[in-house]
């Protein structure tokens, strides 16, 4: 299990300070009851358990500003929280901090189809943005497994990736402007719709990916895109990641920029989904060592023809074993349901040591092969469960505990050892230890060893400038 070493211990809050903080949001929106607090103190994987005397649920930027101003005056540590779906402990109050839950700030302030933008508050659920864009005959491409519960503020704070990153980029690429409350309560109003603005430092990008350590994102202007006229999804069986890489090359050549998703799944992913999932079926007639879930979205009515041409070339060249095209929206949804079922299905297989790495796309097959050997040497019978976004080199290299001979506690005690061998391989290949989940506390102590020393110094300097008292999500990232 990862060990959390708090660097900031929040002194107990006096009844007077709790009352003053409560007055900002109102009694109804200040949580102190232990049973009600519980939902804010743990996360989905149950790795981190926090503690807090108070959760505040502001409804406006002005209320967030007042909270931060009072917190700065009395050095009260704050932990911003969105949908509480993060995977690295960044949203958990480990040391008795006050939680600032952004879920009530859930207004869509404006949809501007002329500018192809939407202005949203930080607590808006990602799926709500997707639906509102669809209603406006537009498309918002950020898509993740937790999209029904994660918030756009959390997505931006962690610079979330997802299945559409291949074509549209990550959360950072979808934001034009931000509104942020700083540690001292000042409001940074940068809700710009401009695609071109060359007026000095791009402050927006400091807060995206900062995990709430520099300020609290309260609203954002996000980009909208034209809805594709045709979408075609295919589930493909192959022998190896190397064959998947060949299929990717052909897909990118044939699709000419309309390849929007290219997901790689090991056979064990399908196995555990069939075993533990609900209404999950194997899309293909017989099993394959590896699978690809690919999707082409086109502005013309040619997505199906393009996918067929890609698969025909793959079959003729001998590296596509079998494939099926989604014949309906229901079948497309079934393909994606299988992909999204992998994490919860793996959870039911016992302990899982997870890695969110990225390597250059061409290095993915070699990374998986080397990591499999290294993990087997370290823990015989451990079960690698690699899957993820082959199109951008981001692989979720998860490792499930052996079926027998080791308890979950014994397996998770090897967390740091497994991390070390997997990270070493990824870094040697020019990769990263965190592609889209962030640093939080899970990877905080690893960061100085993998990040350029000068970069770490600059990051610490930026933190000191924006948060000189160290009250914004202390102990996270740095």
Are residues 73 and 180 located together in one domain of the fold?
no
394-400 and 383-389 beta bridge pairing:
antiparallel
Are residues 357 and 343 located together in one domain of the fold?
no
> What distance in Å separates the CA atoms of residue 382 and residue 408, rounded to the nearest whole number?
12
Residues 6+ apart with CB under 8 A from 191: 119, 177, 178, 179, 219, 220, 221
> What distance in Å separates the CA atoms of residue 204 and residue 108, rounded to the nearest whole number?
20
Q: Which residue has the tokens 């009851």?
A: 33
Helix 241-255 to helix 303-316 angle (10° resolution) is: 140
Are residues 91 and 150 located together in one domain of the fold?
no
Are residues 240 and 296 located together in one domain of the fold?
yes
Q: How many helices (H) and strands (E) does the chain have?
A: 16, 19
Q: How many CB atoms lie within 10 A of CB 350?
A: 16
Per-residue confidence (pLDDT) for residue 9, from 0 to 100 = 73
Helix 364-378 to helix 415-428 angle (10° resolution) is: 150
Per-residue confidence (pLDDT) for residue 14, from 0 to 100 = 95
Are residues 244 and 320 located together in one domain of the fold?
yes
Largest CA distance in the chain: 75
In a domain, 93, yes or no: yes
Q: Which residue has the tokens 């960044």?
A: 90
> What distance in Å separates the CA atoms of residue 184 and residue 69, rounded to the nearest whole number?
5
Are residues 147 and 217 located together in one domain of the fold?
yes
In a domain, 8, yes or no: no
DSSP 446: G
Q: How far is CA 451 from CA 413, 430, 436, 438, 477, in A?
A: 25, 12, 16, 14, 12
Determine the distance from the C-alpha atom of residue 189 to the mean position of all C-alpha atoms in its chain, rounded to a whole number: 25
98-101 and 55-56 beta bridge pairing:
parallel
In a domain, 458, yes or no: no
DSSP 420: H
Domain containing residue 312: 228-347
Name 100's bridge partners: 56, 80
Q: How many domains does the chain have?
A: 4
The answer to whether 14 touches 454, Cβ cutoff 8 Å, is no
> What distance in Å separates the CA atoms of residue 257 and residue 225, rounded to the nearest whole number?
14
Q: What is the CATH number of the domain that holds 82?
A: 3.30.43.10
Q: In 260-363, which ranges are continuous DSSP H helix?
A: 267-276, 303-316, 329-347
Cα angle 133, 139, 143 (rounded to 5 degrees) comes to 100
The answer to whether 473 touches 158, Cβ cutoff 8 Å, is no
> What distance in Å separates the CA atoms of residue 245 and residue 247, rounded to the nearest whole number?
5
Closest CA to 228 of 169, 301, 119: 301
Per-residue pLDDT 10s for the chain (478 aa) are: 565 565 667 789 999 999 999 999 999 999 999 999 999 999 878 888 999 999 999 999 999 999 999 999 999 999 999 999 998 999 999 999 999 999 999 999 999 999 999 999 999 999 999 999 999 999 999 999 899 999 999 999 999 998 999 999 999 999 999 999 999 999 999 999 999 999 999 999 999 999 999 999 999 999 999 999 999 999 999 999 999 999 999 999 999 889 999 999 999 999 999 999 999 999 999 999 999 999 999 988 899 999 999 999 999 999 999 999 999 999 999 999 999 999 999 999 999 999 999 999 999 999 999 999 999 999 999 999 999 999 999 999 999 999 998 999 999 999 999 999 999 999 999 999 999 999 999 999 999 999 999 999 999 999 999 999 999 999 999 9
Are residues 159 and 238 located together in one domain of the fold?
no
> What distance in Å separates the CA atoms of residue 77 and residue 62, rounded to the nearest whole number?
19
Structural domain ending residue among the three candidates 102, 124, 145: 102
DSSP 348: T
Q: In 348-387, which ranges are continuous DSSP H helix?
A: 364-378
Residues 6+ apart with CB under 8 A from 107: 120, 121, 124
Per-residue confidence (pLDDT) for residue 401, from 0 to 100 = 97
Q: Which residue has the tokens 């095209």?
A: 325
> What distance in Å separates the CA atoms of residue 458 and residue 339, rounded to the nearest whole number?
39
Q: What is the CATH number of the domain that holds 290?
A: 3.30.70.2190
Are residues 73 and 119 located together in one domain of the fold?
no
Q: Using CA atoms of 298, 302, 303, 306 in order, give the dihedral in degrees to the nearest 10.
A: -120
Q: Pull the structure tokens for residue 103.
A: 């879920």
Q: Which residue has the tokens 């299945």?
A: 163
> What distance in Å separates the CA atoms of residue 164 and residue 22, rounded to the nearest whole number?
40
In a domain, 77, yes or no: yes
Residue 279, classified by CB atoms within 10 Å of its CB into exposed (0-12), middle (13-18) or buried (19+), is exposed
Determine the distance from the C-alpha atom of residue 395 to the mean position of all C-alpha atoms in its chain, rounded to a whole number: 13
Q: Pull the structure tokens for residue 275.
A: 């075993």
Are residues 233 and 191 located together in one domain of the fold?
no
> What distance in Å separates the CA atoms of residue 477 and residue 99, rounded to the nearest whole number?
17
> What distance in Å separates the CA atoms of residue 390 and residue 361, rounded to the nearest whole number?
7
Are residues 343 and 354 located together in one domain of the fold?
no
In a domain, 1, yes or no: no
In a domain, 471, yes or no: no
Are residues 238 and 340 located together in one domain of the fold?
yes
In a domain, 475, yes or no: no
On average, the pLDDT of the chain sits at 95
């Amino acid at each position: 299990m990862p060990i959390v070493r708090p660097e900031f211990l929040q002194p107990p809050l006096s009844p007077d300070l709790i009352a003053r903080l409560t007055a900002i949001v109102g009694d109804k929106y200040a949580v102190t009851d232990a049973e009600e607090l519980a939902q804010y103190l743990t996360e989905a994987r149950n790795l981190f358990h926090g503690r807090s005397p108070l959760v505040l649920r502001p409804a406006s930027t002005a209320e967030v500003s007042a909270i931060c101003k009072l917190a700065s005056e009395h050095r009260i540590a704050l932990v911003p929280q969105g949908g509480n779906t993060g995977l690295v402990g960044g949203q958990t109050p480990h040391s008795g901090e006050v939680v600032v839950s952004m879920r009530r700030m859930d207004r869509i302030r404006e949809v501007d189809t002329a500018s192809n933008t939407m202005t949203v508050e930080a607590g808006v659920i990602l799926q709500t943005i997707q639906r509102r864009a669809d209603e406006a005959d537009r498309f918002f491409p950020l898509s993740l497994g937790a999209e029904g519960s994660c918030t756009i503020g959390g997505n931006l704070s962690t610079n979330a990736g997802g299945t559409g990153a291949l074509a549209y980029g990550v959360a950072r690429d979808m934001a034009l402007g931000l509104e942020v409350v700083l540690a001292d309560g000042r409001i940074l109003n940068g809700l710009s719709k401009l695609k071109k603005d060359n007026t000095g430092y791009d402050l927006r990008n400091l807060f995206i990916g900062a995990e709430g350590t520099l300020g609290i994102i309260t609203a954002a202007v996000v980009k909208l895109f034209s809805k594709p006229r045709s979408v075609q999804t295919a589930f493909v069986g192959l022998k190896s990641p190397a064959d998947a890489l060949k299929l990717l090359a052909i897909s990118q050549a044939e699709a000419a920029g309309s390849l929007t998703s290219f997901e790689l799944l090991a056979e064990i992913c399908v196995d555990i989904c069939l075993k533990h999932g609900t209404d999950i079926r194997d899309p293909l007639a017989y099993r394959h060592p590896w699978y690809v879930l690919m999707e082409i979205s086109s502005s013309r009515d040619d997505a199906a023809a393009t996918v067929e041409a890609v698969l025909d070339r793959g079959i003729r060249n001998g590296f596509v074993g079998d494939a099926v095209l989604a014949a309906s929206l229901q079948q497309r949804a079934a393909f994606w349901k299988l992909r999204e079922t992998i994490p919860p299905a793996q959870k039911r297989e016992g302990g899982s040591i997870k890695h969110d790495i990225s390597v250059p796309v061409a290095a993915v097959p070699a990374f998986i092969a080397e990591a499999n050997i290294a993990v087997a040497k370290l823990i015989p019978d451990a079960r690698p469960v690699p899957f993820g976004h082959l199109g951008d080199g981001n692989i979720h290299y998860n490792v499930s505990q052996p079926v027998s001979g080791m308890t979950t506690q014994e397996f998770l005690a090897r967390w740091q050892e497994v991390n070390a061998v997997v990270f070493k391989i990824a870094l040697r290949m020019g990769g990263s230890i965190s592609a889209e989940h962030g640093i939080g506390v899970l990877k905080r102590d690893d960061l100085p060893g993998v990040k350029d020393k000068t970069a770490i110094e600059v990051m610490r300097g930026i933190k000191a400038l924006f948060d000189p008292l160290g009250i914004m999500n202390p102990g996270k990232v740095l």
